[in-house]
Structure 1
Amino acid sequence: MELDTAVAASRARGRLVMLVDNGVNGDSRVQKAARSAADAGWDVVLLGRSPHGAPETWRLGGAEVRLLPMPDPLARRRHEFRRAWLRWPLAYPPSGIAPHRAQAVKAWRADLAVRAARLALADPATPRLGLRRRALRAEELAAKVTQKWVSFRYWQLTRARTRRKFRNPWDRAYTLFWQLAKGDGAWRRLEPGLWDYELAYGPVVDELRPDLIHANDFRMLGVAARAKIRAAVEGREIKVVWDAHEFLPGLKPWRDNARWLPAHRAHEREYAPYADAVMTVSGDLAELLRREHGLAELPDVVLNAPAAHHEELVPDAPAPDLRALCGIGPDVPLLVYSGAAARQRGLDIMVDALPQLPGVHVALVVNKPTGPYVSGVLARAAKLGVADRVHALPYVAHWQVVPFLSGADAGVIPIHHWPNHEIALITKFFEYSHARLPLVVSDVKTMAETVRSTGQGEVFRAEDVADYVRAVRVVLADPARYRAAYDRPGLLANWTWEAQAEVLDGVYSRLLPDRPRAVAGTPAEPGAPQPPVGAAR
């Protein structure tokens, strides 16, 4: 009976489709929003992108998660399909023949090695044995020369692919031409890969016939807006909530080209007017969005705060022991960084400082603990002779993050000065706070001001190793002083997801005021698949 009542309530409120451009697993904000919306009585379907190219589905509480296959041929540039005859004349064509040839030569040499071993074991009286050995040595020489030739041509192909930059005068002129010719529609020429998202998500959104779409970040804004337009032609109304996690003009383009940022900004400007409500992660970012897009109202702020109470998705799955994974005891000083790993996140400074911090260990809880950047950080640690004090660990489930991090002595946020780093309290800030960790943070504006006002940690000059060492020593000398800041009444209570979920549902209710609020949403179905483990910062 309770299940029937909850289902009826969710149908009465309406269907909410959430869109995100990742695999959901690893995006704690999106996971919490989906669960909270379902708990508030909405019929929630969360659509994400399958990282493996195969459809997947599971449940987050009462919310259904679907990961969609998304081929992305439009994300490839036309030059990637052509040979660079003038610059790299000996390169293989970009047809896939290069790895085939490289593997074929390896197979040839492997076969020669086995044949050589057979001849070495052969009876000396074997007819023409000497001739066969000389022929084999000649073939081995030919295989070696061929492998060098194949490697050289493969190297030329790699250079042709990686050395092409989109910051030369031609590409700047190309970008300017389409901006002048198409205005905000220029993204269709400059970043056609955005259509890959539409072609994967759009038909599914239309089939679901939502009453409300929650579009996370700039790529999904276009998908939501176009679904809204198509529905209007059919006489249906869809309300769109745009959840801007970052300020697009302040992003560091992930591609080294002049087209990426102008294209995505144009795409965002074209579809921002279709949002019926905008929400974001900080007050400063809300002001920037209002100015950037001429919004009539200031966006609502939903902080990336952790949940104070968790309905565990996997029964009897306590958080792993951080210190046990690092192989250290309770008295060893331990600094933790939790979040995405990239150069602008400043992880290098934590390693560079270790020679001046004897006995201190560092735990890097990152999205890609074996990725190129972290591998470089670990190589740097080995060069400095501190590799045994640096531990790269994978993410844990988002409901385990706070107890997991609490095993450290201090939480570190060493991010560099980038526009988006200046304007918000990021997820790890709140997670460290709920773990009651003393903080060591770089002097990015909003975070530094908050830490100085609360007294929960020390601030250092970004990318300044000496000042970072100073801050760490001060914190480790008297951690109880900084932990006491969390005893301030109301401080942590305001930094909880439960408080943010009220804001979230308030936005939905404002857009669809005729839908009655429900006490609880649809519970997870018994035996339903649960999400894979992982949480992002």
Structure 2
Amino acid sequence: MTDTPSNPDRRPHMVMVVGNQVVGDSRVEKSAVTAEQAGYRVTVLGTARRTVFPIGEYHGIPIYRTPAVFRRQSALNQWKSLRPSVSPTWGRLADADGTPTFGPGEPLPAPGAGAGRSWRDRLAENVELARDRVVAKTPGGWRTVWPHIADYEELFLPPLLHLAPDVIHTHDRHPLAAVHSYVQLMRSRGRTIPWLYDAHEWVPGQEIVGGDQARIGWVAAEAELIRHADAVISVTDELAGRMKSRHRLPERPTVVHNAPLAAKTPLEPEQRLPLRQECGLDEDTPLLVYIGRLADVRGIFTVIDALAQLPGVHAAFVGNQDDAYRQRMRDHAAQIGVDDRLHIADYVPSSSVTWYIQGATCGVSPLMPTPAHELAIPTKLREYLQSGLPLVVSDLTEQAAFTRDGGLGTVFAPGQADSLAGAVQELLDRLPDFRAAVRDPEVQAQHTWEGSEQVLTELWHRLCPVPDAAAGPAGVEPAASETTGPVLAVVAEAPEDQPLVHAWRDQAGPVEPVPGVPVDGGGRGPALKDALDRWIRVDRAADGVLYTGAVNASGSLDGGFSSEVRSLLERGKPVAVWTAEAPLADPRLLAEAYEGHPFSMLPREAAERYRRQVRRSAQPLLDLQAGGNLQLLTSRQADARLLGALWCPVPVPTPTTDRYGSSGWAPEGAQDRPVQVLVVPTLRTPQEEQALDRMAERAEAEGLEILRPRHRKFRPAMAATADLVIDALHLGESSDAAAWAWRSGRIVVGQSTSAPAAPEEAAAPAAPVVQAGDHDLTDRVLELAESLRAGEAGELLRASHDYGTLVHDGRLSVRVIRSALGL
């Protein structure tokens, strides 16, 4: 029994570990939902691949896919490549009469296996395999025989340490070593963590990638580690009996059939249509369906070959996204002239499988013979039954008996296309009878997940009891809020300090502030558990997500900034990136477009160096922009030159103090203090810098206070307290600092610009900039300072104040964001 869980919500934390991407693994997905309903807080831990994002969720349950780095296996492969080439063989040490022996349940050698190899090579290999068997049976020896197991151990152990589970559900063989090591480590620290092993298949009979060494290592690892589990689960009665006998277990493994849920869960039309509709077929066209991994050993090509003998019959394969394998299937179908009747589709969520395929004619399980397959009753058989589909299965022990005994379909010789074609034709001829058999209410009731849930729940509660107050359905729900309207998640370094957060909260709806981590590595990422909780809340609670620059909500856990944004987009979440003043437009384009631009005056070498620096810092944002992601820019120039970009004004909070009264707009106490002039640190030409030096020298002599902060120490909000703000004179646009100046009724000196191009809801007038150039900057600053002292600048001050209120009080920014995100 486990220690009392320490998490605040009192629910014990269950981590389910599996050596795949989780997507499409219906047993893992259904088990996770059942565990949540049984009162556990569940996290699913899988492995990452290029086809999925590291962080995901299933019905509100967080999924973390740890990056799969198999260093030991790679080293072993490199070492093998340096050895003399030896063809694989199924042979074993010969009997006394010279006849090769084969291990129990192993496939016979392929014809010609070992041909052309000397007896010395064969003897050396057999001796090596015999040695591996001996080493593998020693404690931990399987790590030496097959280092790939240790790779998985290294893969899963760190996330387990971060997640700190109270109980562990281990799916299949891959996480065994890591879970056992974690439990032993916790025991040495005084904590007892119960765990169970859910054996999905018969490991001694599995076709394991890696050949003899892999099989020897995995079989030995399971045999050693299974005895340390607090409970064992199997998928069939036959497998439970074999496991108890082989491993001398103290009790028979609990049988949990991997049946589908009785309820059919439709998907929205924009997500997926029913299979028959996706294939574009009418109701009378025979359609075979296969669900599962696309692999030769699953008999995929037997089905394709059979189509040549079944005119008018179509076949649909719902499987993993293996582009190379899918192309092999299409090429083979084209060679035999059936490519127009072959359909390949991606997985759908496990809860929607029966809804998705119910329009097919029958379900096919064409497994090829292996010891594991002989003992298997694949999940797909019960999914077919719950969909009301008769079965066509290859003649392997368990699935053939399952089909024949219930009169649920037809059986064919494995690997033989003509036999499969005959079985399909027989089924079509007697289709009403077979449909009646599979749709019988008693048959349907025998093969549902609901019957397995009670067995699982009782087992979990025995290992790790759940407090009464924690029982019942759980999951991440949107935070309650009295404010109505769309919920916007804002990802920023310090979200509560963002004026945009307060503007949205005041004018649009609730905000989900999400602390972000800069992509340049400045700052540590959140802990794994916190990152998952935060990510699921964004995914479940927010109607749209706004990133304020290149910041990650989950650090590097979801693959980085671009990966994190694409992950949300692929799940249908509207996302925009607020780039503020980030330089995105190519400096060469700006130099060509604006006469006298600072970029045009840089030496060629310096200009190229600056261009590379700009591109490197902007690359994450440019990558997203190239992929069609929406960019919200405060830069008018970049907006005009980047596709998929919109101008959006900087929201500035209401000034806390207004030094200019409503009567005459004169500065309070202006005669008692010097006029303050702020020089915004921005890109300037050499001539402009010289003009600023002359202005500063003259102005200080006239009693003005000149502030010239360095770029790293400057904040745009500093412009809200200066009397005059000297913005860029040659960039063709105003900076974010000018927005703060206008919002507080300050005067901005710079370069006049036209009104920004914007959608109708973001229309804005031209900004009130007092124009100045290099030649007259000093005179203009002194004139404005004198006007302020004399109280004669009221019109300029009022224009700045009105423009700042109209454009930069947040209302316009919120309208642009709502329109851009479709909220």
Normalising to structure 2: TM-score of the pair? Answer: 0.51
Q: Which runs of 4+ in 1 moved over 6 A?
A: 7-10, 314-318, 530-533
SS of residue in 1 equivalent to 2:201: coil
Is the contact between residue 47 and residue 67 of structure 2 (CA under 8 Å) also seen in structure 1?
A: yes
CA gap 1:297/1:475 in 2 versus in 1, 3 angstroms: same
Counterpart in the other structure of 1:44: 42
Give the partner amino acid of 1:176.
Answer: A
- Give the deviation of 1:8 after TM superposition: 11
SS of 2:257 mapped into structure 1: coil
CA positional deviation for 1:70: 3.1
Question: Quick one: which of 253, 273, 277 aligns to 2:227?
Answer: 273
Q: Partner residue of 1:189?
A: 144
Report the CA distance shift for 1:401/1:79 in structure 2 as closer, same or farther (over 3 A): closer
1:403 aligns with 2:355: yes
Question: Which of 311, 315, 324 does residue 277 from structure 2 map onto?
Answer: 324
Q: 1:65 aligns with which of 42, 63, 80?
A: 63
Residues 261-410 of structure 1: pairs in structure 2 closer than 5 A: 261-309=215-263, 319-368=272-321, 370-372=323-325, 374-410=326-362
SS of the residue corresponding to residue 363 of structure 1 reads strand
Q: Report SS of the residue matched to 2:308.
A: helix
Offset from partner CA, 1:454-508 (integer Å, 9 cap, x none): 2221112222333322211121123221111134333222311222121111111
State which structure, 1 or 2, has the greater radius of gyration over its C-alpha atoms: 2
Match for 1:432: what amino acid?
Y
Percent identical among aligned pairs is 33
| Structure 2 equivalent of residue 173 of structure 1 | 127
Contact 1:381/1:390 (<8 A) preserved = yes
Distance in 1 (alpha carbons) for counterparts of 2:36 and 2:465: 17
The amino acid that maps onto 1:481 is D
Report the secondary structure of 2:20's partner residue: coil
For the pair 1:486 / 2:486, whether they are aligned, the reply is: no
Contact 2:136 2:145 in 1 (8 A): no
Q: Are 2:197 and 1:245 equivalent residues in the alignment?
A: no
Give the structure 1 partner of residue 388 of structure 2: 436
- Which amino acid in structure 1 is aligned with residue 214 of structure 2? W
CA contact (8 A) 2:152 2:177 kept: no
CA distance in 2, matches of 1:270, 1:455: 41
Answer 1 or 2: which has greater helix percent: 1
Q: Tell me what 1:145 maps to.
A: none
Give the secondary structure class of the aligned counterpart of 1:357.
coil
* Preserved contact between residue 136 and residue 220 of structure 2 (Cα < 8 Å): no
* CA shift digits 1:305-342 (9 cap, x unpaired): 11123678x76767423223223222211111111111
Going from structure 1 to structure 2, the CA distance change for 1:76 and 1:516 (only over 3 Å counts) comes to same
Matches of 1:392 and 1:54, distance apart in 2? 19
Residue in structure 2 matched with residue 198 of structure 1 by the alignment: 153
CA distance in structure 2 between the aligned counterparts of 1:34 and 1:297, rounded to whole angstroms: 25
Q: For the Cα contact (< 8 Å) 2:374–2:397, is it kept in 1?
A: yes
Deviations 1:378-402 (CA, angstroms, capped at 9, x unpaired)? 3232222222111222222222211
Contact 2:318–2:344 (Cα < 8 Å) also in 1: yes
1:518 to partner: Cα distance:
5.1
TM-score by length of 1: 0.76
| Residue in structure 1 matched with residue 174 of structure 2 by the alignment | 219
Q: 1:310 to 1:44 in 2, by over 3 A?
A: farther
Distance in 1 (CA, whole Å) between partners of 2:134 and 2:199 is 27
Cα deviation, residue 351, structure 1: 2.1
Write out aligned runs for 1:71-82 (5 A).
Answer: 71-78=69-76, 80=78
Distance, in Å, in 2 between the alignment partners of 1:171 and 1:408 is: 49
Tell me if the contact between 2:304 and 2:333 (Cα under 8 Å) persists in the aligned partners. yes
Distance 2:133 2:167 in 1: 32
1:16 corresponds in structure 2 to: 14
- Output the amino acid matched with 2:295: A
1:47–1:67 Cα contact (<8 Å) kept = yes
Code of the aligned partner of 1:282: T
Secondary structure, in 3 states, of the residue corresponding to 1:47? strand
More moved, 456-465 vs 291-300: 456-465
In 1, Cα distance between equivalents of 2:430 and 2:80: 62
What is the deviation of 1:204?
Answer: 2.3
- In structure 2, the gaps of 5 or more residues are 86-120, 479-536, 541-566, 572-823
Q: Secondary structure at the match of 1:259?
A: helix
Q: 1-side partners of 2:379 and 2:466: how far apart?
A: 33
1:487/1:79 CA distance change after superposition, 3 Å: closer
Aligned AA (1:502): Q
Over 3 Å counting, the alpha-carbon distance change for 1:484 and 1:8 in structure 2 is farther
CA apart distance, 1:10? 9.2
What's the CA shift for 1:43?
Answer: 1.5
Match of 2:163 in 1: 208
Q: Give the deviation of 1:362 after TM superposition.
A: 1.2
User: Would you say the 8 A contact 1:9–1:521 is kept in 2?
Assistant: no
Alpha-carbon distance between aligned partners in 1 of 2:441 and 2:256, rounded to the nearest angstrom? 21
Structure 2 residue identity aligned to 1:277: A
Q: Which has the higher contact order (CA 8 A, sep 6+)?
A: 1
- 1:442 and 1:517 map into 2 onto residues whose CA distance is 49
**1:87-146 CA deviation, whole Å, 9 max, x = no partner?**
7xxxxxxxxxxxxxxxxxxxxxxxxxxxxxxxxxxxxxxxxxxxxxxxxxxxxxxxxxxx
| Distance change (3 Å), C-alpha of 1:295 and 1:203 | same
Residue type of the alignment partner of 1:17: V
Aligned equivalent of 1:157: none
Structure 1 position 186, deviation (Å):
2.2
Return closer, same or farther for 1:190/1:425 CA change in 2, 3 Å cut-off.
Answer: same
Total equivalences in the alignment: 447
Which residue is 2:420 aligned to?
Answer: 468
Higher alpha-carbon deviation: 520-529 or 488-497: 520-529
- 2:281 alignment partner AA: I
SS at match of 2:57: strand
Q: Is residue 58–residue 529 contact of structure 1 (8 Å, CA) maintained in 2?
A: no
Quick one: structure 1 residues 491 and 8, their matched pair in 2 at CA, closer, same or farther if it must change by over 3 Å?
Answer: farther
Q: 1:244 Cα deviation (Å)?
A: 0.4
Separation of aligned partners in 2, 1:448 and 1:287: 19
How far 1:246 moved relative to its partner?
0.7
Q: 1:485 to 1:40 in 2, by over 3 A?
A: same
CA displacement, residues 207-229 of structure 1 (integer Å, 9 cap, x when unaligned): 33322111111121111111111
RMSD: 3.0
| Structure 1 residues 363 and 452: alpha-carbon distance in aligned structure 2, compared to 1, 3 A threshold | same
Q: Verify the 8 A CA contact 1:336 1:408 in the aligned structure 2.
A: yes
**Which residue among 421, 424, 433 is the counterpart of 2:376?**
424
Query: Where does residue 104 of structure 1 map in the other structure?
Result: none
SS class of match (1:529) = helix
Q: In 2 relative to 1, CA 483–319 (structure 1 residues): closer, same or farther, beyond 3 Å?
A: farther
Q: Does 2:226 correspond to 1:228?
A: no
* Contact persistence 1:13–1:43 (CA under 8 A): yes
**Aligned partners of 1:322 and 1:407 also within 8 Å:** yes
What is the letter of the counterpart of residue 249 of structure 1?
P
- Distance (whole Å) between structure 1 residues aligned to residue 416 and residue 84 of structure 2: 45
**More displaced stretch, 275-284 vs 468-477:** 468-477
Q: What code does the residue aligned with 2:144 have?
A: R
Q: Is the 8 A contact 2:285 2:312 kept in 1?
A: yes
1:517–1:32 Cα change, 3 Å = farther
- In 1, distance between residues paired with 2:538 and 2:26? 20
CA contact (8 A) 2:136 2:144 kept: no
